[in-house]
């Protein structure tokens, strides 16, 4: 475990409209407003989404199981925002459901809004954190510039 402390900065309420590419538009907003660290809630609908529903086997690096969600899916999710060195990295886990069938996973690509999707972003300031590539795990891992635990850095 490693951790760092920050404080709440700006808060954004965002509406994504029918057929907006949610992840692309969110990425654009994060860059425009220079949100370096934060978390967000999202609720509404998606017509499409590429979702990772877990690894094929519990090994590192994981081999992801992809599921393409199509149709009018209700969405409720929570995500974080941290940058690698050049770009924001969005990590969103959500439940997507249609007619009582729900899939939960990591929403990663191909997101098209159905009707409306709302996001509430809370910026975290004073937090020396980023999400660089973690080769041993095969993903971008949350890392703190100056951890408070004295734990060794396991960045590979």
Rounded mean pLDDT for each run of 10 residues along the chain, 156 residues in total = 94 98 98 98 98 96 96 98 96 97 97 98 96 93 71 45
Which pLDDT value is given to residue 146?
67
Q: Any residues with CB less than 8 A from the CB of 152 and at least 6 apart, and which?
A: none
How far apart are alpha carbons 29 and 56 in whole angstroms? 33
Q: What CATH architecture is 9-127?
A: 2-Layer Sandwich (3.30)
From residue 17, alpha-carbon distances to 70, 86, 101, 117 in Å are: 17, 28, 24, 7
Question: pTM for this one?
Answer: 0.89
Which pLDDT value is given to residue 156?
47
Which pLDDT value is given to residue 142?
95
Which pLDDT value is given to residue 111?
98
3-state class (DSSP) for residue 58:
coil
Domain boundaries, the chain: 9-127
Q: Any residues with CB less than 8 A from the CB of 118 and at least 6 apart, and which?
A: 13, 14, 15, 16, 42, 43, 44
How far apart are alpha carbons 72 and 45 in whole angstroms? 7
Residue 123 Rama label (left phi>0; alpha psi -120 to 50; beta): beta
């Amino acid at each position: 475990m490693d951790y760092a402390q920050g404080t709440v900065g700006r808060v954004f309420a965002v509406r994504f409209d029918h057929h907006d590419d949610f992840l692309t538009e969110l990425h654009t907003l994060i860059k425009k407003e220079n949100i370096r660290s934060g978390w967000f809630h999202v609720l509404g609908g998606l017509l499409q989404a590429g979702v990772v529903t877990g690894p094929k086997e519990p090994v590192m690096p994981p081999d992801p199981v992809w599921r393409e969600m199509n149709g009018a899916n209700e969405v409720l999710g929570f995500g974080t925002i941290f940058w690698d060195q050049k770009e924001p990295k969005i990590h969103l886990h959500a439940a997507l459901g249609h007619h009582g069938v729900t899939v939960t996973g990591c929403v990663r690509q191909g997101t098209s809004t159905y009707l409306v999707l709302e996001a509430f972003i809370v910026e975290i300031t004073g937090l020396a954190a980023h999400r660089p590539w973690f080769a041993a795990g095969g993903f971008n891992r949350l890392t703190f510039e100056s951890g408070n635990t004295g734990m060794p850095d396991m960045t590979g």
